[in-house]
Amino acid sequence: MGFTFSFPMIQKALNIGLLVTWTKSFNCPSVVGRDAVNMLQEAINRRGDTHVEFFWGGEGTGEADKGRQRKFAQGPTSTKGVPGTLVQGAVLDPRTTIGLILGTGSNACYLERADKVQHWEQQRHGEKQVIIDIEWGAFGDNGTLDFIKTDFDRTVDKNSLITNSFMFEKYIGGKYMGEIVRVILVRLTKDCLLFGGETSDTLLTSGTFTTSFVSIIEQDTIDDTSENTVEILHKLGLSCDEDDVAIVKYVCEVVSNRAALLVSVCGIGASAPPVGLSTLLSRQDRPDVTIAVDGSLYKYHPRLKGWMNKYIKLLAPGRKVNTITSGL
């Protein structure tokens, strides 16, 4: 059995992971700073009816893994979701050196030369390459992305469980994309630019405009129809005309396109941190790279993949970049 713990951790060893902070809709302060792996083991032991003998902990991937025997770890081991995506991608395509999660939240990791890694707590064993987990969801928490923050983003952040935290994820994650659209529609309605200035209790309620609605409306745009968009607006208790539908479609497009752009581009520059797929590509001396992607937003949003491929090619010219869908 494997268990993915998709939260920022300080991973001291294969079976030691200290929780740094909760994200998304989780907030249990007593767990922060503690070893989540050990807590899971203790919880299983308290049951008294379940014996856990092995969790699989894979070591190595890609070129660094050739000829290396895989190891099994007794007791629970921990892995983050995005390194698992990279590893699975490497099994499907050995050119895979970047993993990306684009679902409820977002994160990325990449394969780095071990001699470039200065912060190394454990003893080295001749590793040639290691996986670097970026935790890019927290990019911008120190204010570096405030120049792109809109009033709508501030409202979404204010209404979130943990404010001023994981700001980059709040721009691009599936948990927040629909909420950004809802906040924009509420503002436009209150300014009498939408729905004749008449809103509804449902639209005014946080979380009612889901990201799945955004994907469905974007599919309407692709299909040059409005049937599903009108149905969604009626479910929200809104009366709409042709202009209203066009505006809603445009808002969904702008918010979606911004997410694709930020995932692909953010962090470009010689002194920039490794955030953004184009930046990760620039750190690797490889002419042919595959990016393994997992996550519901990437899988079900009908336009995201195409926009990302477009922006990556613009920002990483001369490189052959492939994307594969990882995960189950």
Q: pLDDT tier at 269 (50, 70, 90 boundaries)?
A: very low
User: How many other C-beta atoms can be found within 10 angstroms of the C-beta atom of residue 46?
Assistant: 8
Q: What is the pLDDT of residue 64?
A: 29
Q: What is the pairing mode between strands 54-56 and 320-325? A: unpaired
Q: What is the pLDDT of residue 275?
A: 59
Instruction: Spell 106-143 as b/e; 16+ CB within 10 A means b.
Output: bbbbbbbeeeeeeeeeeeeeeeebbbbbbbbbbbbeee
Measure the CA–CA gap between 278 and 284, rounded to whole angstroms: 10
β-bridge mates for residue 99, sequence order: 109, 292
Q: Is the pLDDT of residue 252 over 90?
A: yes
Please work out, in degrees rounded to the nearest 5, the angle formed at the alpha carbon of residue 32 by the alpha carbons of 30 and 33.
Answer: 120
Residue ranges and CATH numbers for the domains of the chain are 1-79 (3.30.420.40), 81-328 (3.40.367.20)
Query: Which of 99, 93, 107, 84 shows the shortest CA–CA distance to 62?
Result: 93
User: Which segments of the chain are extended strands (E)?
Assistant: 9-13, 16-19, 54-56, 72-74, 96-102, 106-113, 129-133, 288-294, 320-325
Cβ-contact 66, 259 below 8 angstroms: no
Measure the CA–CA gap between 45 and 39, rounded to whole angstroms: 10
User: How many other C-beta atoms can be found within 10 angstroms of the C-beta atom of residue 65?
Assistant: 18
Q: What contacts 227, CB < 8 A, 6 or more positions away?
A: 220
- pLDDT, tens only, 288-313: 999 999 999 999 999 999 999 999 88
Taking residues 11-15, report their average pLDDT: 70
Q: Read off the tokens for 81.
A: 């979701």
Report the predicted TM-score, pTM, of the whole model to 2 decimal places.
Answer: 0.78
Measure the CA–CA gap between 92 and 245, rounded to whole angstroms: 42
Q: What is the pLDDT of residue 53?
A: 52
- pLDDT, tens only, 26-85: 778 888 888 887 888 888 888 888 776 534 333 222 322 333 333 333 444 445 578 889
Residue with the larger pLDDT of the pair 122 and 258? 258
Q: Read off the tokens for 315.
A: 């920002």
DSSP conformation class of 245? H
Q: Is 315 helix (H, G, I), strand (E, B) or coil?
A: helix
Q: What percent of the chain has pLDDT over 70?
A: 84
Cβ-contact 109, 90 below 8 angstroms: no
Tell me what the pLDDT averaged over the chain comes to: 83
Residue with the larger pLDDT of the pair 165 and 123? 165
